[in-house]
């Protein structure tokens, strides 16, 4: 599959919002997660892309794009993204794709049983205090309707102009699924799904 650099730059800009270590482009969605593939982040992209599936380390993706020369032909084959200037990066690790899909399926099965909803967490002073903390301050507990959520300042990609909606779902035995919906400018929404043990 042949891809142009503008398409990759658009995907890079969209994925940057997720602040994730790994990304997976799957049709009109970009999913992101941490190194351990525990939380799931998602953004729906407006521009159509020729890429039906790409799973890659965000850091490797950015480094690959920086090395592309003007006029390069960029190709995605099974598990390698490469250009004709001998620039390449491995991608589409089957274990990571499986884990992303497993998380997506698990989320889809759980979102019908909402036990708590907040329209805008930024109206809660304690939440704003957490966002203002430094990374060195560590995790802080936020109590939302008796659901204890451990949150640290850089966990959510929130800026001042965003609003943050929250849904909490019954999940697996002994756990809840917390769904943060970050509403950004230009009608961009970032969905973040994190499982929490019930304390």
Q: How confident is the model at residue 113 (pLDDT cuts 50, 70, 90)?
A: confident
Do 38 and 56 share a domain, yes or no?
A: yes
Looking at residue 152, its pLDDT comes to 82
Task: Please indicate whether residue 165 or residue 198 has the higher confidence score (pLDDT).
Answer: 165
Q: How confident is the model at residue 87 (pLDDT cuts 50, 70, 90)?
A: confident
Looking at residue 64, its pLDDT comes to 92
| Predicted model pTM | 0.87
Question: Average pLDDT in the 128-141 region?
Answer: 87
Residues 199 and 186: their CA atoms lie apart, in Å, by 37
Do 104 and 162 share a domain, yes or no?
A: no
Residues 11 and 65: their CA atoms lie apart, in Å, by 11
Do 97 and 21 share a domain, yes or no?
A: yes
Do 101 and 156 share a domain, yes or no?
A: no
Final residue of a structural domain among 109, 132, 151: 109
Q: How confident is the model at residue 86 (pLDDT cuts 50, 70, 90)?
A: confident
Residue 90 domain boundaries: 2-109
Do 122 and 89 share a domain, yes or no?
A: no
Do 84 and 127 share a domain, yes or no?
A: no
Final residue of a structural domain among 79, 109, 139: 109
Residue 139 reports pLDDT greater than 90? no
Final residue of a structural domain among 65, 90, 109: 109
Do 140 and 61 share a domain, yes or no?
A: no
Residue 186 reports pLDDT greater than 90? no
Residue 199 reports pLDDT greater than 80? no
Do 10 and 81 share a domain, yes or no?
A: yes
Residues 49 and 42: their CA atoms lie apart, in Å, by 16
Do 119 and 164 share a domain, yes or no?
A: yes
Do 127 and 98 share a domain, yes or no?
A: no
Looking at residue 110, its pLDDT comes to 85
Tokens linked to 193: 């799904």
Tokens linked to 158: 């929130």
Q: How many domains, in total, are found in the chain?
A: 2
Q: How confident is the model at residue 198 (pLDDT cuts 50, 70, 90)?
A: confident
Question: Average pLDDT in the 151-155 region?
Answer: 82
Residue 135 reports pLDDT greater than 90? no
Q: Are 73 and 96 in contact (CB under 8 A)?
A: no
Do 86 and 170 share a domain, yes or no?
A: no
Looking at residue 193, its pLDDT comes to 94
Per-residue pLDDT of 33-73, as tens digits, reads 988 888 899 998 877 677 888 999 999 999 999 988 878 88
Label each residue of 134-159 as H, E or C.
CHHHCCEEEEECCEEEEECCCCCCCC
First to last CA, the chain: 48
Closest CA to 95 of 30, 24, 148: 24
């Amino acid at each position: 599959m042949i891809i142009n650099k503008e398409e990759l730059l658009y995907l890079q800009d969209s994925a940057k919002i997720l602040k994730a270590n790994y990304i997976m482009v799957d049709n009109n969605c970009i999913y992101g997660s941490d190194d351990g593939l525990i939380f799931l982040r998602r953004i729906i992209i407006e521009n159509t892309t020729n890429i039906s599936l790409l799973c890659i380390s965000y850091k490797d993706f950015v480094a690959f794009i920086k090395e592309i020369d003007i006029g390069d032909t960029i190709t995605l084959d099974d598990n390698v993204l490469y250009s004709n200037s001998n620039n390449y990066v491995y991608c589409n690790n089957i274990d990571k794709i499986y884990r992303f899909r497993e998380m997506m399926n698990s989320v889809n099965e759980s979102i019908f049983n909402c036990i708590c909803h907040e329209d805008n967490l930024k109206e809660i002073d304690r939440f704003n205090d957490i966002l203002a903390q430094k990374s060195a301050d560590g995790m802080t507990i936020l109590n939302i309707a008796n659901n204890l959520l451990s949150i640290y300042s850089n966990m959510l990609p929130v800026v001042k102009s965003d609003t943050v909606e929250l849904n909490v779902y019954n999940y697996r035995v002994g756990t809840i699924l917390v769904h943060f919906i970050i509403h950004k400018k230009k009608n961009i929404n970032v969905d973040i799904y994190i499982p929490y043990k019930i304390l």
